[in-house]
Amino acid sequence: RLLPPIDCAPVPHNRRPPLSLFIESIIGSSVANMVQGLGCNISILKTEELKQKVRSKLNDTIDESELLKSIDSLHRLDVAYHFSQEMETKLSSIYHKFGRFDTDDHDLHSVALRFRLLRQHGFCVSP
């Protein structure tokens, strides 16, 4: 026995109307545009400030394993493209001293991470 088809329309869950509708209705459209513009500028400034902090962390990190973990985290967060120049510089420096084991980063995780990141960035390293 077949049941009759059920027609369902998607219903958005907990969807809020845009903030601009409330602001415009209360204080007018010209002030609303100014407020939204300021919010956008603040977001851009905050983003640039955070990018600068990450750049300085990449440039100031001396410990190779910490640097590799930071680069890996940037890739996992999918924001590495913002810092490609800094990462290339640091990985190039690691690559050129690759093979000189004057550091204490001999554990499996550090070696595997170094290998993967160097290969991922186009450096010719072999297992």
- The predicted model gives 90-102 an average pLDDT of 75
Looking at the domain assignment, is residue 2 inside a domain?
no
User: What is the arithmetic mean of pLDDT over 10-25?
Assistant: 54
Give the model's pLDDT for residue 20.
53
If you average pLDDT over every residue of the chain, what do you get? 75
Is 4 inside any structural domain? Answer: no
For residue 10, name the pLDDT band (cuts at 50, 70, 90). Answer: low
Q: What does pTM read for this prediction?
A: 0.62
Q: What domain range includes position 123?
A: 62-127
Question: Do 75 and 120 belong together in one domain?
Answer: yes
- CA torsion sign for 77, 78, 79, 85 is positive
Is 3 domain-assigned? Answer: no
Q: What 3-state class would DSSP assign to 90?
A: helix
